[in-house]
């Protein structure tokens, strides 16, 4: 499980994220492309897909899947979203409190 405590009160965030809807699911905090790639890689493997087989499911090359899983930062957000949807990953975005306002 990847956790990135970049929130002002990480415990409060985690309790909100693990509400009844997600009580039995792991919660991942990600802060960069490499961590997103790791979540994708873990879920792909959990579902039993090879990179080659999964690439045909999402209509992308195995090379691109590999690059995404290794955190290549130039990948489009839409391609990442297509992968997340295919892997049935639900994304929750939380606002960080850095005192910017």
Q: Where are the domains of the chain?
A: 31-94
For the stretch 32-72, pLDDT in tens is 888 889 889 999 999 999 999 999 999 999 999 999 999 88
DSSP code for 24: T
Separation in Å, CA 90 to CA 8, 9, 52, 59, 99: 23, 22, 23, 20, 28
Is CATH 1.10.260.40 the right assignment for the domain spanning 31-94?
Answer: yes
By the 8 A CB rule, do 55 and 61 touch? yes
**Residues of the chain above pLDDT 90, percent:** 29
Question: Exposed e or buried b for every residue in 57-90, given b needs 16+ CB within 10 A?
Answer: ebebeeebbebbbeeeeebeeebbeebbebbebe
* pTM passes above 0.85: no
- How high is the mean pLDDT of the chain? 76
Rounded distance between C-alpha atoms, residue 89 and residue 101, angstroms = 31
């Amino acid at each position: 499980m990847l956790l990135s405590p970049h929130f002002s009160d990480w415990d409060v965030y985690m309790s909100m994220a693990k509400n009844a809807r997600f009580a039995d699911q792991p919660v991942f905090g990600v802060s960069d492309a490499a961590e997103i790639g790791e979540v994708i890689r873990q879920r792909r493997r959990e579902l039993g897909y090879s990179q080659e087989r999964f690439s045909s499911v999402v209509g992308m090359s195995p090379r691109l899947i590999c690059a995404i899983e290794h955190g290549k930062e130039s990948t489009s957000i839409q391609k990442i979203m297509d992968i997340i949807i295919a892997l049935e990953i639900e994304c929750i975005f939380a606002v960080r409190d850095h005192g910017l306002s």
